[in-house]
């Protein structure tokens, strides 16, 4: 096993890791180049058959890594897998169990219909809440805070899309992997604690312990909606009629206003 840390800042943390954990390979990006580009820097240096992308706010339990590797060895059609991510409140992190954000899925989610019909396949395709969360099953996508990927997936579909600065790079990668025929699996028999949003400060789950600056919070809110529009332009724009695209972009613009002006 090799551990690679990609440092996107200049606050002394990279030097601290080098001193306290000399077996860790520390790479410096030279500045805040974004999550996807930082992930590619780590990818270029990695030599393993399986690559685990682990956010600095995620903490897997002891048996998770070995369990996932064994699972991959026994399931050659699986390209990406995640564990059950649990928030500080003890509730599951639903972003680790997602469907792709089609116009209908996004509409039902942001309209709040998935909260009224959490077990509905029609109204909760965003989080796929109709599936059995106690058993292993296939999903559309998971988040890169804890995402294990088979090396062959990168060989086939390429690297992380660096035009995503923050948010969206995991949606895009899972989408391309699924298009190439790989399975994305949710494996709840293994558990990871997720201090969701502690680095960016815009998630209520960890807002009380986040040290993110107001500038970081504002930029993160903007990035979250920019990623939505860019993903749609990359993968959905040619699949839907123009009037659907116009409505989607109108909704994204409204959400941009709410998140950047109203701090939602």
Q: pLDDT truncated to tens, each residue of the chain (264 aa)?
A: 999 999 988 889 999 999 999 999 999 998 999 999 999 999 999 999 999 999 989 999 999 999 999 999 999 999 999 999 999 999 999 999 999 999 999 999 999 999 999 999 999 999 999 999 999 999 999 999 999 999 999 999 999 999 999 999 999 999 999 999 999 999 999 999 999 989 888 888 887 888 888 888 889 999 999 999 999 999 999 999 999 999 999 999 999 998 887 554
Q: Please state, in angstroms and rounded to a whole number, the distance separating the CA atoms of residues 120 and 131.
A: 9
State the Cα–Cα distance between residues 164 and 160, nearest whole angstrom. Answer: 9
Sign of CA dihedral 50, 200, 176, 160: negative
How many CB atoms neighbour CB 260 within 10 A?
15
Question: DSSP string spanning 125-157?
Answer: TTTTTTS-TTS-EEESB--TTEEEEEHHHHHHH
């Amino acid at each position: 096993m090799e551990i690679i840390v990609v440092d996107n800042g200049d606050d002394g943390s990279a030097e601290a890791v080098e001193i306290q954990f000399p077996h860790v390979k520390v790479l410096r990006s030279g500045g805040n180049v974004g999550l996807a580009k930082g992930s590619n820097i780590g990818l270029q240096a990695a030599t393993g058959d399986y690559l685990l992308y682990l956010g600095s706010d995620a903490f897997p339990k002891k048996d998770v890594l070995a369990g996932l590797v064994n699972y991959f060895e026994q399931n050659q059609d699986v390209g990406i897998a995640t564990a059950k991510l649990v928030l500080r409140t003890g509730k599951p992190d639903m972003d680790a169990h997602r469907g792709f954000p089609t116009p209908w899925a996004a509409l039902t989610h942001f309209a709040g219909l998935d909260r009224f019909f959490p077990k509905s396949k029609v109204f909760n395709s965003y989080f796929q809440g109709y599936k059995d969360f106690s058993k292993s099953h296939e999903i559309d996508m998971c988040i890169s805070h804890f995402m294990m990927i088979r090396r062959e997936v990168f060989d086939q579909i390429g690297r992380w899309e660096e035009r995503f600065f923050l948010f969206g790079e995991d949606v895009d990668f899972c989408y391309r992997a699924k298009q190439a025929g790989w399975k994305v699996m949710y494996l709840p028999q293994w558990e990871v604690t997720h201090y969701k949003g502690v680095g960016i400060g815009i998630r209520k789950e960890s807002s009380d312990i986040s040290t993110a600056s107001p500038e970081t919070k504002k930029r993160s809110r903007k990035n979250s909606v920019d990623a939505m529009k860019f993903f749609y332009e990359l993968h959905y724009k040619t699949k839907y009629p123009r009037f659907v695209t116009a409505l989607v972009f109108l909704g994204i613009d409204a959400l941009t206003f709410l998140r950047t002006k109203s701090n939602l």
